[in-house]
Chain A
Amino acid sequence: MEHANPFALIFILLMGGVLFFYVSQARRGKDIYVRRIPGIDAIDETLGRSVELGRPIAFTSGLISIGPLFYACLSVLHYVAEKIARFSSKIYVPCFDPEVLVLSDATLQSAYQSANRLSQYDPTDVRYLSNNQFAYASGYMGLVHRENVGGAFLFGSFAAESLILAEAGQQVGAMQVAATTSNEQIPFFITTCDHTLIGEELYAAGAYLSNNSVQRGSLRAQDIMKLLLVALIVLGTIQATFAALSASEEPIAALKWVTGSWSAKGE
C-alpha cells in the first residue's frame, strides 16, 4: 500500500492552510484578480455562435472518471448548460463512464433548474456511449455529424481518441474549445480546436465563470504553492549541482528530505 512521507503530509497541510487563508480573505470581500484567459472567454462566444446558427452543442469529458478533474469539468458544464437552457437551445453530453453519466445528468438538471427551464430538460441529452475508447470515439463522431453541432466543448481527460473527437467537430464546422490536463493530447487540440485551455487553466475555468469567492481564493493559494514548489526545485537544483561538483556519493539533503519515509526502515 502506498503511504505518504512526512514531506507529503507537510505539503498537504500547508496547502490546506494557504487555501483556507485565501478563501477566507476572498469571502471577506477582498478582490482577487484572475487574469483573462482567451479560451474561457471563447466559451460564451461558442455558445452565442451555436445559438445564432440554431445548432446544438456537444460537451464531452473524454475518458474521464470520477475525480477532482471531473468536478472541475462539471462546473463548466453547469455554466454552459444553464446558458443553453436560457437560450432554449440544445446540449448533448456523451459519456464514457456510467458514473460520469449519473453526475453529468444531475448537473444538467441542476443547470436547467437554475435557469428556470426545468420543463425543457431532456434526460436523453446525456448519453452513455461506451466505456471502450474507440467505440466511444466512434459514437461521439456519429453524434456530432448526425446532430450537426455548432459548438463543441472538450473538457476533461483524453487519450489517443482526442484527435478523432476534435476532427469530428472540425468536419462539421463547429467552433471548439478544448481543455485538458493530458499533456500528450494538448498539441492535437491546439492544432484542431479554436481555443485550448492547458493544464490547470481547466481548473481555473470554474472560478472564472462562476466568479465564486472560494474558487478565486483557491486559485491564489495554488499560485502560492506553485511558487513554493519552484523554490524547492531551485534549491534542489543548486544542491544537486554542488553535489555533482564535489563528486559526493551521499544523497543530497533536499532530496533526502523530500523522499524520506516515516521510519528509517522505509515503512
Chain B
Amino acid sequence: MTRLRNKLIAFFTFIGGLYFFLEYILPAHIGGLEFGKYHEQISLAVQLIGLMAIGLGLINIFRVHGVRILKLQGGWFNSFVLLLGLAFVLVLQLLDFRRSEQRSDLLLEVKNFSLFVNRVVLEYEQKQIDYRPRLDALIDRLGVLKTQVKNSSSLLATGKQLDSERTEAQFVRSAEGAASATEQLKGALWQNNYRETKKITLDQLALLQSVTQELLDLNYEASPARRWGNFVFNGFFTPLGSAMFSLLAFYIVSAAYRSFRFRSWEAVVLMIPALIVMLGQIPHGPLYVYSGLPEIRRWLLEYLNTPAFRAIFFGSAIAGLAMSIRIWLSLEKSPLNTEETKQ
C-alpha cells in the first residue's frame, strides 16, 4: 500500500511538474494552440488543495492547546485564552461573512431591476407579453424594500448616524422615484410612446442602485460583527504585532554589540565598513567627521555589498533549480517517504 502511495505521489508530481514546466517554457501561442489557456483555473485548483491544510492547522491548535487545558499543564490558562480568542474571532468572521452575503444578495437584486425593465419592454415588443403584472410586481418590490429600510434600526446604532439617516432618506426617495417612473412607464407603454419614459425609469433605477450600494456599505460597517472585528484587529492584533516589531530595535543593538567587539581580525574588518556605513547614513557623520562619508558608504554598498549578495543569490537560484528537477523527477529519497527509509 505504501509503495503504491509513493508511486502515485511520484506520478502526480511528475505530471504536475510537466504541466508547469511546459506552461513556462513554451510560448503563449504555438500555431493555433494556446497552452496556458486554463492556467489560472489550474493554479487556483492547486491553491485550493493547499487551503485544505488550514483545517489541519486548526486541528493541530486544538490538539496542542486542548490537551494542555484538559490536563491543566503549565500555561493552560494561556492556552485557554488562545482558544477562546480563536473561537471568538471565528464566530465574528462567520457573522461578518453572513452579513456580507446578505449585502451582496440585495445589491444583486437592485442591479437586476434595470435588466428586468429592459427585458419586460423587449418581450412586450417582440412577443407581446403583458408588461402590466410584471411592472406591478417591480413597483410592489420597491415598496417592500422602502418599508424595510424605513423600519431598519441597525443603521441608527452607528457612529455615522447622520450619514446613515441621510443615505436612508436618499434611498426612500430613490425607491419612490423609481416606483413612480415605473408607473409612468406602464402608461407610456399603453400609449406606445415609451422611449423617453423608459430612459427615465432606467436612470432612476441606476440612482437607486448607487444609493443602495452606499447604504449597504454604511450598514455593513455599522454591523456589530464588523465593529467587533475592527476592534479586535485594530485594537489588539495590530498593536501587538507592532510591539513585537519594535523589539527588533533593542535586539539589533544587542546583536551589534556582540559582533562589533574587537575579538578577532574578522570582527575588525566587519566593524570598520559598518562604522563608515552608519556614519555615512546619519547626518552627523558628514557634518562633523568627513563630508565624503556618504559617497564612501554608497561605494561600499554598491560595489562590495551588492556583488556579494548577487553571488549568494546566483548560488541559491541554481541550487533551487537543481532541487526542483530532483523533486520533479523523484530522483532522490524523499524525507517524507516512510518505505524507503531504513528500518
User: Which A residues lie at the B interface, using CB under 8 A?
Assistant: 1-4, 8-9, 12, 15-16, 19, 23, 66-69, 71-72, 74-75, 77-78, 95, 97-99, 101-103, 106-107, 109-111, 113-114, 116, 123-124, 126-128, 131-135, 137-138, 146, 160-161, 163-164, 167, 181, 183, 186, 188, 190-192, 198-200, 202-204, 210, 212, 214-215, 218, 221-222, 225-226, 229, 262-263, 267
Instruction: Answer yes or no: B262 CB below 8 A from chain A CBs.
Output: no
**Is there contact, CB below 8 Å, between A110 and B255?**
no
Instruction: Answer yes or no: B343 CB below 8 A from chain A CBs.
Output: yes
Specify which chain B residues have a CB less than 8 angstroms from the CB of A183 in the assembled complex. Answer: 309, 312-313
**Is there contact, CB below 8 Å, between B314 and A3?**
no
Can you list 17 contacts pairing A with B, beta carbon distance less than 8 Å?
Answer: A3-B26, A15-B325, A19-B326, A107-B335, A110-B337, A110-B341, A114-B343, A116-B343, A135-B237, A163-B252, A164-B248, A167-B255, A183-B309, A183-B312, A212-B332, A215-B332, A226-B318
Can you add 8 more A-B contacts, CB < 8 Å, to A69-B320, A106-B336, A222-B319?
Answer: A72-B319, A128-B61, A167-B251, A181-B313, A215-B326, A215-B332, A218-B322, A225-B322
**Is there contact, CB below 8 Å, between A199 and B316?**
yes
Complex Cα–Cα for A97 and B54 (A):
8
**Is there contact, CB below 8 Å, between A127 and B64?**
yes
Complex Cα–Cα for A9 and B325 (A):
13
Specify which chain A residues have a CB less than 8 angstroms from the CB of B61 in the assembled complex. Answer: 128
**Is there contact, CB below 8 Å, between B244 and A137?**
yes
User: Which B residues lie at the A interface, using CB under 8 A?
Assistant: 21, 23-29, 36, 39, 50, 53-58, 60-61, 63-64, 67, 74-75, 237, 240-241, 244-245, 247-248, 251-252, 254-256, 258-259, 309, 312-316, 318-327, 331-333, 335-338, 341-343
Specify which chain A residues have a CB less than 8 angstroms from the CB of B312 in the assembled complex. Answer: 181, 183, 186, 198-200
Specify which chain B residues have a CB less than 8 angstroms from the CB of A200 in the assembled complex. Answer: 312, 315-316, 318-319
**Is there contact, CB below 8 Å, between A160 and B248?**
yes
Complex Cα–Cα for A218 and B341 (A):
20
**Is there contact, CB below 8 Å, between A101 and B322?**
no
Q: A15-B318, A267-B28 are in contact. Are A110 and B54 (CB under 8 A)?
A: no
**Is there contact, CB below 8 Å, between A191 and B255?**
yes
Shortest C-beta distance, B329 to chain A (Å), equals 9
Question: In the complex, what residue of chain B is closest to A74 when comparing beta carbons?
Answer: B335
Shortest C-beta distance, A84 to chain B (Å), equals 14
Specify which chain A residues have a CB less than 8 angstroms from the CB of B335 in the assembled complex. Answer: 71, 74-75, 77-78, 107, 110-111
Complex Cα–Cα for A183 and B314 (A):
11
